[in-house]
Structure 1
Amino acid sequence: MPWTVVAAVLLSTAGLLVLGVLAVRLWLDVRRLAREVGTAAKALAEASGELSRP
């Protein structure tokens, strides 16, 4: 009986650690994507500005 409780606690702790690692990886990917979108938006704004000039 006590071993099953220890095993359940260890498995749930390992599961939370895996979810935490995945959350950090997702957060880093979202930051990188946001940076790339910002760079692309600036490039598009510059290109449209050049096209609108006579």
Structure 2
Amino acid sequence: MWWLYLCVGLATAGLLVLGVLAVRVFAAVQELARQVAAATDALAAASDRLQRAARPLSERAGQISRS
């Protein structure tokens, strides 16, 4: 009969370990999502700055090709 208690205890411990690991994975995914969002914002800002910087150059290139 003691083996029944042992099996139930081991199963419970296994479920607890899986629960803890699931919480850790969830926290890691949340952190990764925050980092991806920050990187996306940074890339969008850099793209805007690049477009603003390239606009005068493209206008000058158009003037050179027309001359």
TM above 0.5 = yes
**Corresponding position: 1:52 with 2:51:** yes
Query: Considering only aligned residues, what root-mean-square deviation do their CA atoms show, in Å?
Result: 0.4
Normalised by the length of structure 1, the TM-score is: 0.96
Structure 1 unpaired stretches of 5+? none
**Corresponding position: 1:22 with 2:5:** no
Cα separation, 2, equivalents of 1:10 and 1:33: 35
Matched length:
53
Cα separation, 2, equivalents of 1:37 and 1:4: 49
Structure 2 unpaired stretches of 5+? 56-67
2:37 is matched with 38
Q: Max radius of gyration: which structure?
A: 2
1:11 is matched with 10
Deviations 1:3-54 (A, max 9, x none): 0000000000000000000000000000000000000000000000000013
- Corresponding letter in the other structure for 2:41: K
Normalised by the length of structure 2, the TM-score is: 0.78
